[in-house]
Amino acid sequence: MSPSARAFLATIIFAVAGISSFFTSRIWLESVGVLLAVIYALLVINTFFSIRFFSSLLPSDLLQKIIDTILVAFYLSLTFSMNDEVRFFLLASGLFLLASVKYVLLLKHTSYTKILWRKIRIDLVGAVSCAAALVGTLLGYSLESAWIFVIGFGILSVYLLLTDPAYHSSKEPQR
C-alpha cells in the first residue's frame, strides 16, 4: 500500500471512529467534550501528514508494526474518552510518548536522523502539553485546560503543517 493510501485509510478509520463517538456519546452537549473532539480532529489531521511522510522514509520491522498497532489502539481509545477529560489527556499523553519511543527506535535504522529528532521533539512537546492539561484538569480547571490545549495545539499545527512543515520532502537526510 502506498504511503498516501495508508495515510488516507488511517485518517478515514480514525475520523469515522471519532465522529461515531461524538454522536453516540452525545459529546456535543458538553463544552469540554467539544474541545476534546477538536483536539482529536487536529490530531487526526496531523497524523495523516505524519503517516504519509514517514511511511515512505522509514523501514518497518516487526517491532514498528507492534508499536503502530498499539498507537492505533490509543487513537481508538481516545474516541471513547472524549466525554472524560482525565482519561482523554492521560491517553493522549501515552500516545505522544509511545510515538516518541517509536521514532527513537528508528534512529539507528535510517539516515534521516535530523527529521526524526525534530519529530521526537514535537511528540515530546505533545506529551508534556497533555500532561499539563491533565494536571490542570485534576486541579479542577478542565475547561480552561482544554481551551489552552486547543489553542496551543491549533497554533502548533498551523506552524508545523504550513509555516515550517515538519512533513515535507525538502527535509533532507543528515549525511
40-98 pLDDT, tens digit per residue, is 999 999 999 999 998 888 777 898 889 999 999 999 999 999 989 999 999 999 999 99
Cβ atoms of 96 and 78 within 8 Å: the answer is no
Please name the residues in contact with 19: beta carbons below 8 A apart, sequence gap of 6 or more.
none
Q: pTM (2 decimals)? A: 0.90
User: Could you tell me which of 92, 74, 100, 84 has the C-alpha nearest to residue 149?
Assistant: 92
Total residue length of the chain:
175
Quickly state the pLDDT bin for 156 (edges 50, 70, 90). very high
